[in-house]
Amino acid sequence: MTIAEFAAVVVAMAVVVIAVVLVMAVNNLNRTMAKMEDTAHQLRDEGISAFRELRQLVSDADAELDKVDQVLDRADQATTYISETSRRTHEAVQDPVIRSLAIASGSSKVARGWLGARRKRRKSDKLAEKAAG
């Protein structure tokens, strides 16, 4: 065997080893790609289901916000009605109450004056009876 033949055999063996390594690498890459594809499908399926749940949650939250908005509107209306009723009641009651208090105060002054004058008359009548008797 000559050196050329020996070199050819070595090169052929090296090519076979490189081919086997390349075939194994390609096989590993194919398996890795298959796993990545499965993972991508799982992520997509989970993402789609999570997105659906999120849409449902947003829809539910929107419905609840509508309810809260209605409650706040009604509370605002009730506050307005209560304020208006309070104002009107105050206006309706204030003047008659003030007048009633003024009449009561004046009446009590008149009554005290009348009772005081009556007591004075009785005392003076009693004193006159004692002086005469």
pLDDT at 133 over 70: no
Top pLDDT among 39 and 124 is at 39
For the question of whether the overall pTM of this predicted structure is more than 0.75, the answer is: no
pLDDT at 32 over 90: yes
pLDDT at 38 over 80: yes
Domain ranges, ordered by start, for the chain: 1-107
- Phi then psi for residue 2, to 5 deg, are -90, 170
The pLDDT tens digits for 48-101 are: 999 999 999 999 999 999 999 999 999 999 999 998 888 888 777 777 767 777
pLDDT at 109 over 80: no
